[in-house]
C-alpha cells in the first residue's frame, strides 16, 4: 500500500488553512488551493500568524517555521490541482452543490489513484460520494477546530469506499498525530450526534426558566468536569453554527426535541451572543434538574450511537475526551456515577425526547472497555494498543488485555508473525504515572509490584514466542513503551520514531526490562547513555544503537514486515554492541560512560579527559544532575548486572529492587512533579 505523501486542501479559510498547516507540520507536501489569489494569500497569512505565535511560545523555532511554510504551495483554481496528488481534501462551505462542483472539477483533473475527501460536519458522505465520480476512492473527514491543535478526526467511509482508500486515509490521519474515530455515515457522525443536542438542551433549560445561563454553565462544568459550559462554548464557536447543526439533526433524525430552541433562534436572528453574566446561583433543585437533563441527554444519545453501530463505546468516549476535552466520556461518566443512576437519567431523557430507550442501556452492570485490538490477516496477527487519548499509556487494564491478545495470537497455529502496534501518534508513551502516585500515597506497594510483574509476564509472551515478533515503533516510545518494544525480535522505525527512558529524571528506574535489554542489545556503555541520562533518541540514533532494528521510509513499513516474516526470528537478538559502533553517539557513549568513568559520573563529577564546557559533555552533566540520585545508582547497578547474569536473572533483579526505589521520597516527588508539570526537587531520600 502506497502511503499518502502529497495532499491538496481545497479552500484556504480558517479550517482549510489549519488542515494545510498541520499537514505541512508533519512533513507532507501540501497544496493550498482557492479560487482567487487573495484567498490563497489570506490562508497563508493565517498560517503565518499562527506559526509566529508558536515561535513566541517556543513551540517551533524560526527554522522549523520556515521549513513548514516551504512545504505549502499556493494554488489558484481547483482545476490547477496537481494530477498526481495522493489525497485531496475539500474544505469549502457546508453546501452540497458547492462541494459537488468542486468534486466534478477534481474528478477531471486528478489521476486515477487520487483519493478525494470532504471535510464535513453534517452532510451525507454517501450522497457526496455518489456525486464525486469516484465513490471507491472517496471518504468523509471531520476535522475538529482548530485542526492544528485538536487531536481528533472522524473518518467516515461511504458505502462504496474501498478498503485501501480507508487504510491510506487513516494512515495519513495517524501521520498527523490525530486520534482517529472510524465511523458510519449517520447524521452528526459521533461527537456532534451527542454534543449538538447537549447545547440545545441547555438552551431549553434557559428558556424554561430553570436557571440563568451562567448557572447552567456552572452546573454543566461541574457535572462534566469541563472548562467551559454550553453557552460559553456557543459564544466561542458562534450561535448560528449551533442552530444550523441542531436543526439539521432534528430534520435528519426526525427528532423534534432537537429543533433549535426559540431563544437560540431569536439570538441568531438578532445577530447577538449569549449574555452569560456572573450570576451562577441557583437552587439545589434547579441544579439537579440541569445536571440530570444534560447528563441524561448525553447518556441516551451515546447509547443510540452504539446501538446503531456507528462506532464503539470506547470511540464515543474517545471523541468526548479528545475532541471536546471532557475529562471523561459518556460511558466512563456512567460508570463513575453508577449504572443504576445513569440508566434512570437516560430513560428519563428518552421519555422527554419521545424515543425508545437504547438497548445499550438495558443493563445493570458497569461498562467494560477494550483497549487492545487483535486482527489476523493470513499468517500475520496484529495486536494494537488502542488508547490514543492517553498516548497508549500502560495501565492495569491495558496490560491484562494485552496479555490475553498475545495468548490468543500465540495459540493460533495459522499465525507465524505477531506485529505489535500503537494507535495514534505514539507507540506507547510509558506507564500510567498516576497509578504509581496513587499507590505510593496509599502505601500499596504490593499493587505496584503486581502490576510490574504482570508487565514482565506479558513481555515474556513476546520474548519467548515461537513466532516472529515485530514492534511498529514508528512514533513515540517512552519508558515502559520502549521496554515493551525491546522484548520483540525486531523494531521497525521511521523518521518519526523517537525513543527515551525518562525514569531516572522522575525518581525511579526503568523496571520493565529497561536496565537489562538495552545493555544486551547495544552494550553497557550505550545502555548507560540511554538509561542513566535519559537521552532523547531520534530515529537514526536509535538505529545506530540497535534499538531500532529496521529504519525505513514510511512507504516501506508494510514490505519490511513481510520481509522480516520471511526471515524469521533473529539469529542473535542480543549482540551486546551498537549496530553502528562508528556513529558519533556510539563512540561518545563508549568513551564517556566507560567502566573507568562511571564512579566519577555517579558522584556528579566530569570524567578525566573530558571538557565540561564541551557541548556534548555539558549536556550529559546537566541531564545527570536532574536525576534522582538513588534512582541513578540503582539503575547503574542493574545495568552492570546485565553483564553478569542471564536475562531471566537480570529481570528478577529489577523486580527485587522495586521496593527499594518506590519506597523513597524522591520517587513520589519525581512522579508527582511529572503529573503537576513542574521540575522535581530531589533530597536523596
Taking residues 661-673, report their average pLDDT.
Answer: 97
Task: Residue 448: name the closest of 486, 480, 485 by CA.
Answer: 480
- pTM score: 0.90
**pLDDT greater than 90 at residue 518:** yes
pLDDT digits (tens, 9 = 90+) for 418-449: 999 999 889 999 999 999 999 999 999 999 99
Taking the C-alpha atoms of residue 143 and residue 549, their distance in angstroms, rounded to an integer, is 35
- In this structure, the strands spanning 152-157 and 179-182 are parallel
Average pLDDT over residues 639-665: 96
pLDDT, residue 458, reads 98
Contact 514, 501 (CB under 8 A): yes
DSSP β-bridge partners for residue 72: 30
DSSP annotation string for 458-505: HHHHHHT-SSEEEEE--SEEETHHHHHHHTSSEEEE-TT-EEE--GGG
Task: Say how far apart CA 163 and CA 100 lie, in whole Å.
Answer: 23
3 state SS of 6: strand
Q: Do domains 6-182 and 372-676 have the same CATH topology?
A: no
Question: No. of H helices and E strands in the chain?
Answer: 30, 18
**pLDDT tens digits along 391-404:** 999 999 999 999 99
- Identify the pLDDT of residue 424: 84
d(C-alpha 63, C-alpha 42), whole Å: 22
Sheet holding 537-538, edge to edge: 426-429, 476-478, 498-500, 537-538
Degrees, nearest 5: CA angle 577-580-583: 115
SS3 309: coil
The percent of residues in the chain predicted with pLDDT above 90, rounded, is 95
Per-residue pLDDT tens digits for 10-39: 999 999 999 999 999 999 999 999 999 999
pLDDT 10s digits, 550-609: 999 988 999 999 999 999 999 999 999 999 999 999 999 999 999 999 999 999 999 999
d(CA 272, CA 274): 7
362-388 per-position pLDDT tens digit: 999 999 999 999 999 999 999 999 999
Q: Looking up cell 486515509, which residue turns up? A: 169
Taking the C-alpha atoms of residue 511 and residue 490, their distance in angstroms, rounded to an integer, is 21
* E runs forming strands in 536-628: 537-538, 550-551
| Pick from 557, 558, 467, 519: nearest CA to 640 | 519
Q: Give 294-310 pLDDT, tens digit per residue.
A: 999 999 999 999 999 99
Residues 6 or more apart whose CB falls under 8 angstroms from that of 619 comprise none
Beta-carbon-side half-sphere exposure of residue 203 (alpha carbons within 13 Å): 27
CB 469: neighbour CB atoms within 10 A? Answer: 27
Question: Domain segments of the chain: what residues?
Answer: 6-182, 191-361, 372-676
Across 230-245, average pLDDT: 93
Angle between helices 213-224 and 191-207 (to 10 degrees): 140
Which three cell numbers mark 394? Answer: 500502560
Q: What are phi and psi of 447, to 5 degrees?
A: -70, -40
Residue 482 CA to residue 604 CA, distance in Å, equals 27
Cell numbers standing for residue 166: 480507508
Three-state DSSP state, 193: helix
Hey, which residues does 34 pair with through a beta bridge?
76
Of all helices (H) and strands (E), which one includes residue 181?
strand 179-182
89-125 pLDDT per residue, tens? 999 988 899 999 999 999 999 999 999 999 998 889 9
The domain made up of 372-676 has a fold known as 2-enoyl-CoA Hydratase; Chain A, domain 1 (3.90.226)
- Determine if the peptide bond prior to 35 is cis (ω within 30°): no
The pLDDT of 54-62, averaged and rounded, is 92
Mean pLDDT for 471-476 is 94
Check pLDDT > 80 for residue 1. no
DSSP 677: T
State pLDDT tens for residues 137-175.
999 999 998 999 999 999 999 999 999 999 999 999 999
> Cell triple for residue 342?
445513569
State residue 425's pLDDT score.
84
Answer yes or no: are the C-beta atoms of 455 and 479 closer than 8 Å.
no
Q: Using one digit for the tens of pLDDT, what is the confidence trace for 450-471?
A: 999 999 999 999 999 999 999 9
Contact indicator for 181, 152 with CB cutoff of 8 Å: yes
Cβ–Cβ under 8 Å, residues 161 and 130: no
| Residue 345 confidence (pLDDT) above 80 | yes
State the average pLDDT over residues 230-255: 94
Q: How far apart are CA 614 and CA 39, in angstroms?
A: 50
Q: What is the DSSP letter of 254?
A: T
For the cut 90, the answer to whether the pLDDT of residue 279 exceeds it is: no
For residue 55, report the phi and psi dihedrals to the nearest 5 degrees.
Answer: -65, -45
**Does 6-182 carry CATH code 3.40.50.12780?**
no
Phi, psi of 682 (to 5 degrees): -95, 140
For cell 461541574, name the residue.
222
Average pLDDT of the residues of the chain: 96
The dihedrals phi and psi of 127, each to the nearest 5 degrees, come to: -65, -40
Cα distance between residue 518 and residue 136, in whole Å: 46
Judge contact between 199 and 34, C-beta under 8 A.
no
**Coil, strand, or helix at residue 539?**
helix
15 contacts 89 by C-beta, under 8 angstroms: no
CATH node for 191-361: 1.10.1040.50
Beta-ladder partners of 374? 383
With beta carbons less than 8 A apart as the criterion, state whether 483 and 431 touch.
no
Q: Which residue has the cell 525511579?
A: 508
pLDDT beyond 80 at 632: yes
Cβ atoms of 86 and 9 within 8 Å: the answer is no
Q: Any residues with CB less than 8 A from the CB of 548 and at least 6 apart, and which?
A: 473, 491, 492, 493, 497, 499, 539, 542
Give the CB-side neighbour count of residue 562, counting CA atoms within 13 A. Answer: 6
On the question of pLDDT at 531 being above 90, the answer is yes
Amino acid at each position: 500500500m502506497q502511503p499518502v505523501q502529497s495532499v491538496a486542501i481545497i479552500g484556504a479559510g480558517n479550517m482549510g488553512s489549519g488542515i494545510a498547516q498541520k499537514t505541512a507540520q508533519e512533513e507532507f507536501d501540501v497544496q493550498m488551493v482557492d479560487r482567487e489569489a487573495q484567498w490563497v494569500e489570506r490562508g497563508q497569512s493565517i498560517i503565518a500568524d499562527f506559526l509566529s505565535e508558536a515561535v513566541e511560545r517556543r513551540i517551533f523555532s524560526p527554522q522549523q517555521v520556515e521549513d513548514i511554510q516551504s512545504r505549502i504551495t499556493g494554488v489558484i483554481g481547483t482545476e490547477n490541482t496537481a494530477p498526481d496528488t495522493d489525497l485531496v481534501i475539500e474544505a469549502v462551505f457546508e453546501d452540497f452543490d458547492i462541494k459537488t462542483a468542486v468534486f466534478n472539477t477534481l474528478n477531471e483533473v486528478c489521476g486515477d489513484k487520487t483519493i478525494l475527501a470532504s471535510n464535513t460536519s453534517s452532510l451525507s458522505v454517501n450522497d457526496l460520494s455518489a456525486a464525486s465520480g469516484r465513490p471507491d476512492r472517496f471518504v468523509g473527514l471531520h476535522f475538529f477546530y482548530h485542526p492544528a491543535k485538536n487531536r481528533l478526526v472522524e473518518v467516515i467511509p461511504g458505502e462504496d469506499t474501498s478498503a485501501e482508500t480507508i487504510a491510506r486515509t487513516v494512515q495519513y490521519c495517524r501521520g498527523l498525530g490525530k486520534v482517529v474515530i472510524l465511523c458510519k455515515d449517520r447524521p452528526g457522525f459521533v461527537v456532534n450526534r451527542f454534543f449538538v443536542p447537549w447545547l440545545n438542551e441547555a438552551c431549553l433549560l434557559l428558556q424554561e426558566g430553570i436557571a440563568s445561563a451562567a448557572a447552567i454553565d456552572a452546573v454543566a462544568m461541574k457535572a462534566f468536569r469541563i472548562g467551559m459550559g454550553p453557552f460559553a462554548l456557543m459564544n466561542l464557536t458562534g450561535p448560528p453554527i449551533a442552530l444550523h447543526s441542531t436543526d439539521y439533526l432534528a430534520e435528519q433524525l426526525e427528532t423534534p426535541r432537537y429543533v433549535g430552541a426559540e431563544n437560540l433562534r431569536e439570538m441568531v436572528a438578532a445577530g447577538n451572543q449569549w449574555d452569560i453574566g456572573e450570576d451562577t446561583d441557583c437552587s439545589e433543585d434547579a441544579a439537579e434538574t440541569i445536571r440530570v437533563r444534560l447528563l441524561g441527554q448525553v447518556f441516551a444519545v451515546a447509547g443510540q450511537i452504539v446501538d446503531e453501530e456507528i462506532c464503539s463505546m470506547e470511540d464515543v468516549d474517545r471523541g468526548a475526551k479528545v475532541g471536546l476535552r471532557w475529562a471523561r466520556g459518556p460511558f466512563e461518566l456512567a460508570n463513575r456515577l453508577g449504572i443504576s443512576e445513569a440508566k434512570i437519567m437516560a430513560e428519563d431523557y428518552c421519555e422527554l425526547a419521545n424515543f425508545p430507550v437504547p438497548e445499550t442501556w438495558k443493563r445493570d452492570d458497569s461498562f467494560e472497555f477494550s483497549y487492545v485490538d487483535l486482527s489476523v490477516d493470513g499468517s500475520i496477527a496484529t495486536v494494537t494498543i488502542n488508547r490514543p487519548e492517553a498516548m497508549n499509556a500502560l495501565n492495569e487494564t491495558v496490560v491484562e488485555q494485552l496479555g490475553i491478545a498475545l495468548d490468543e495470537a500465540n495459540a493460533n497455529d495459522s499465525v507465524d508473525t505477531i506485529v505489535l502496534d500503537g494507535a495514534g501518534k505514539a507507540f506507547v508513551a510509558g506507564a500510567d504515572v498516576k497509578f504509581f502516585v496513587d499507590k505510593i500515597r496509599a502505601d500499596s506497594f504490593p499493587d505496584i509490584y503486581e502490576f510490574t510483574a504482570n508487565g514482565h509476564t506479558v513481555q515474556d509472551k513476546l520474548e519467548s514466542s515461537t513466532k516472529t515478533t515485530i514492534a511498529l515503533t514508528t512514533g513515540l516510545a517512552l519508558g515502559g513503551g520502549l521496554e515493551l518494544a525491546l522484548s520483540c525480535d525486531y523494531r521497525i522505525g521511521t523518521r518519526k520514531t523517537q525513543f527515551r527512558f525518562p525514569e531516572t529524571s522522575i525518581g525511579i528506574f526503568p523496571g520493565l526490562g529497561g536496565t537489562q535489554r538495552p545493555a544486551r542489545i547495544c552494550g553497557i556503555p550505550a545502555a548507560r547513555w540511554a538509561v542513566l541520562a535519559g537521552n532523547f533518541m531520534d530515529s537514526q540514533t536509535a538505529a545506530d544503537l540497535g534499538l531500532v532494528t529496521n529504519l525505513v521510509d514510511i512507504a516501506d513499513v508494510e514490505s519490511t514486515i513481510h520481509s522480516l516474516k520471511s526471515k524469521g526470528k533473529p539469529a542473535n537478538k542480543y549482540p551486546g554492541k551498537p549496530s553502528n559502533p562508528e556513529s558519533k553517539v556510539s563512540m561518545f557513549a563508549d568513551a564517556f560512560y566507560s567502566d573507568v568513568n562511571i564512579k566519577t559520573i555517579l558522584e556528579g563529577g566530569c570524567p578525566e579527559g573530558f571538557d565540561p564546557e564541551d557541548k556534548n559533555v555539558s549536556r550529559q552533566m546537566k541531564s545527570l544532575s536532574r536525576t534522582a540520585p538513588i534512582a541513578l545508582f540503582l539503575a547503574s547497578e542493574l545495568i552492570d548486572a546485565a553483564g553478569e547474569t542471564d536475562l531471566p536473572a537480570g529481570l528478577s533483579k529489577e523486580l527485587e529492587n522495586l521496593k527499594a526505589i518506590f519506597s523513597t521520597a524522591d520517587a513520589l516527588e519525581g512522579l508527582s512533579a511529572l503529573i503537576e508539570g513542574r521540575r522535581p526537587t530531589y533530597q536523596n531520600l
